[in-house]
Amino acid sequence: MVERPNSPVCPPRRVLMGPGPSDVSPSVLAALGAPTVGHLDPYFLNLMDEVQQMLRELFQTENSLTLAVSGTGSAGMETCIVNLVEPGDRVLIGVNGVFGGRMADVATRYGAEVRTIERSFGEVFSTEKVAEAVREFQPKLVGLVHAETSTGACQPIPEISKAVHDQGAMLLIDCVTSLGGIPVEIDEWNVDAAYSGTQKCLSCPPGLAPVTFSKRAVEAMDARSSKVASWYLDMSMVRNYWSGQSRAYHHTAPINMNYALHTALREALDESLEARFERHHQNHLGLRAGLEALGLKYAVDESIRLPMLNAVLIPEGVDDKTVRGRLLNEFGIEIGGGLGPMAGKTWRIGLMGAASTTSNVLLFLAALENCLQ
């Protein structure tokens, strides 16, 4: 039996360079400790307005329905799907990693008729492949993962979006790992729904899921003939709490997590998106140079590599768990192992948000070199 603890929590200090969560900046951590107010307190309602406005800037959108769902990235995924899909609706999902697979699972659970198109882990979809499937299947919704955290591949969106819309479908994208680290241009790319998480390039603890819906997506929700299958994630109620006249109670928002997100968003925008993307890019280049000097090879082609998630092949004869264990126990550095078919074959090295620094790159390379000797 686990004994009753007699001391406060005292987690070890880590450098979080895995697939997320990433390092949280001190000001975001401090915001978590600010006094909790009520979820209908005018102070908090105003803070929610500001969170929404800053999320619009981050998502590069004017979408009025943009907010932070109470829950992690997967709650954002479920929110988008459950609100846009009614039982029997056709949904096409691109599966080229773990998270496309999760999207298909979620859509199936909510009664959609799901068809998947598939690519090997580490590859992305061509416009032709998606266009062909959309023409054939005529889905209501197409779901793609912009930044596949399980593989480190970046799915190009703009051209595909055009092909999806040419056939009258809506486009949903997973931006859990991309938001705040590379451009996510919801309006420019004509994306109908997108979700993210707080614990990657926003460098907040896990716990909220930013989402945004286009006017067309909102119209589709308003035209539903069935109730949204999840009470908690039903945007027709949640949006009345986040905006409008009534600001009616729906659920008790995680107040302090919203303080943290507010702080993280303000920091990201103070840095400027352009500078933030450039920082992620430069630190990725630094890491890549060092990894290549150590003889490691990337698992995905250079043209589609994510700067914030570097998936590299584990060298022949090197034991995955021994190295990751040493990095953690001797150097305090967390990196991720491979997922799905990449388990035991790749390491996933994150350079996300506050963890994307030159000093982390150098620290990691020195530690890895030591572990590989």
Residue 20 or 181: which CB sits closer to ligand PLP?
A: 20
**73 touches ligand PLP (CB under 6 A):** yes
* Cα–Cα dist 46/135, whole Å: 45
| Stretch of residues binding ligand PLP (CB under 6 A), selected from 44-52, 172-180, 186-194, 239-247 | 172-180
| Stretch of residues binding ligand PLP (CB under 6 A), selected from 51-59, 71-79, 247-255, 314-322 | 71-79
Residue 72 or 167: which CB sits closer to ligand PLP?
A: 72
* Partner residues linked to 113 by β-bridges: 90
CB 178 within 8 A of CB 154: yes
Q: How far is the CB of 124 from ligand PLP (least distance, A)?
A: 13
**Helix 273-293 with 358-372: angle, nearest 10 deg:** 20
Strand runs labelled E in the chain: 15-16, 65-70, 90-95, 113-118, 141-145, 147-148, 153-154, 170-174, 193-195, 208-213, 297-298, 309-313, 333-334, 336-337, 346-350
Q: Which of residues 144-163 bind ligand PLP (CB under 6 A)?
A: 145, 149
The residue within the footprint of ligand PLP, chosen from 23, 86, 174, 334 (CB under 6 A), is 174
CB atoms within 10 A of CB 369: 12
* Cα–Cα dist 32/50, whole Å: 17
- Concatenate the DSSP letters of all residues of 262-282 into one string: HHHHHHHHHH-HHHHHHHHHH
- What are the helix (H) ranges across 228-357? 235-242, 255-271, 273-293, 320-331
**72 touches ligand PLP (CB under 6 A):** yes
Residue 117 or 367: which CB sits closer to ligand PLP?
A: 117
Residue 19 or 307: which CB sits closer to ligand PLP?
A: 19
Residue 77 or 365: which CB sits closer to ligand PLP?
A: 77
* Partner residues linked to 208 by β-bridges: 70
CB 211 within 8 A of CB 191: no
| Stretch of residues binding ligand PLP (CB under 6 A), selected from 38-46, 68-76, 251-259, 332-340 | 68-76
> Cα–Cα–Cα angle for 188, 352, 22, nearest 5°?
130
The residue within the footprint of ligand PLP, chosen from 18, 197, 210, 350 (CB under 6 A), is 197
**80 touches ligand PLP (CB under 6 A):** no
Which residue number is nearest to ligand PLP in terms of Cβ?
Answer: 73
The residue within the footprint of ligand PLP, chosen from 59, 99, 213, 347 (CB under 6 A), is 99
Q: Which of residues 289-328 bind ligand PLP (CB under 6 A)?
A: none
The residue within the footprint of ligand PLP, chosen from 29, 32, 45, 74 (CB under 6 A), is 74
* Cα–Cα dist 29/260, whole Å: 7
Question: CB under 8 Å to 329, separation ≥6 — which residues?
Answer: none
* Cα–Cα dist 261/200, whole Å: 12
| Stretch of residues binding ligand PLP (CB under 6 A), selected from 25-33, 67-75, 280-288, 336-344 | 67-75
Residue 105 or 166: which CB sits closer to ligand PLP?
A: 105
Q: Is 288 known to sit in a ligand binding site?
A: no
Residue 206 or 254: which CB sits closer to ligand PLP?
A: 206
Q: How many residues bind ligand PLP (CB under 6 A)?
A: 14
* Cα–Cα dist 346/312, whole Å: 5
Q: Return the closest-CA partner of residue 73 out of 141, 146, 11, 125.
A: 146
Beta strands 113-118 and 141-145, pairing class? unpaired
Q: How far is the CB of 186 from ligand PLP (least distance, A)?
A: 16
Q: Which of residues 2-31 bind ligand PLP (CB under 6 A)?
A: 19-20
Chain residues binding ligand PLP by CB under 6 A are 19-20, 72-74, 77, 99, 145, 149, 174, 176-177, 197, 206
Residue numbers belonging to the annotated binding site for substrate: 348
Residue numbers belonging to the annotated binding site: 348
